[in-house]
Amino acid sequence: MSISVVMPAYNAERFIAAALDSLLPEAGPLDLEILVVDDHSTDGTRAIIERYARAEPRIRLLDNPRKGIAAARNTAVEARRPDADFVAFLDSDDLSYPGRLTRQQALLADHPEIDVLYGRVAMFGRFDPVTLGPLEGSRTKVIRGPYLQSALYRAAVFAKVGRFDETFRQGCDTDYVLRVVEAGARLVLDDGIAAYYRRHDANVTLDTAEMRREFMLASLKWAARNRLAKRGELPEVFHELFLRRDQIEEDLGA
């Protein structure tokens, strides 16, 4: 079974090498490709990707001329290997939890009725370049939310649900989870940690006003679609998945 990992990248020269290094240990045991989409970076990001791609043929560099993260994800999903069984995500400033893809692939292989698996995310502030995780003593918070970097999708889900909505700047992951549930895909929550979410001075989510607006927009779009379809309440998995992001940020001390 093969996995395509989607990694959008924009001006991530401080972080992307560690993100790739966190995935590569699983590239040997797994049939893995890593699709890195350069969103027209103006720093050294592209050169770092090119260096990694020369050394590791399973890394592919794709272009997304400053269209944003949703478009970058669409570019990679559509360029994945045609025989890919699963699609995973990792942002270029985050880190894949050790063994995450192996564990999640095994769970989906054992449970063909599950379409999408979401794990937990450990948010942290101080990075240890040796362990590729939180520095000892760094404040961390393990959470569950609609964070794509914790998810493994069956590739067939994208034909059913469609593309990421490119009108969102940082809310396309929230919108997509809503549409996955609406489409009737079976989404299950895994208690294992799937990713480390690095908090730093360039996080898009530091713009909390925009984050709230986009969460509200995704919610309003969901409400409009479901009003027209006369659907009832979303299943319990939806309520378990969504947390108050402003409270998360406050608890972490970010």
CATH code for the domain in which residue 116 is found: 3.90.550.10
DSSP reduced 3-state for 33: strand
DSSP reduced 3-state for 197: strand
Q: What is the pLDDT of residue 249?
A: 47
Confidence band of 253 (pLDDT split at 50, 70, 90): very low
Which two structure tokens, joined as six digits, stand for 8? Answer: 């959008």
Residue 15 carries which side chain, given as an amino acid letter? Answer: F
The whole-chain average pLDDT of the chain stands at 85
- Over range 130-154, report the average pLDDT: 89
pLDDT single digits (tens) 72-111: 999 999 999 999 999 999 999 999 999 999 999 999 999 9
pLDDT single digits (tens) 23-57: 999 988 899 999 999 999 999 999 999 999 999 99
Q: What is the pLDDT of residue 17?
A: 97
Q: Domain span at residue 90?
A: 2-252
- Give the closest residue to 195 by CA, choosing from 83, 100, 58, 73: 100
Q: What is the pLDDT of residue 222?
A: 67
Q: What is the pLDDT of residue 227?
A: 60
Instruction: State the SS3 of 96-151.
Output: ECCCHHHHHHHHHHHCCCCCEEEEEEEEECCEECCCCEECCCCCEEEECCCCHHHE
pLDDT single digits (tens) 143-158: 887 789 999 999 999 9
Q: What is the pLDDT of residue 152?
A: 97
Domain tally for the chain? 1
Q: What is the pLDDT of residue 18?
A: 96
Confidence band of 168 (pLDDT split at 50, 70, 90): confident
User: What does the alpha-carbon distance between residue 39 and residue 63 come to, in Å, rounded to a whole number?
Assistant: 6
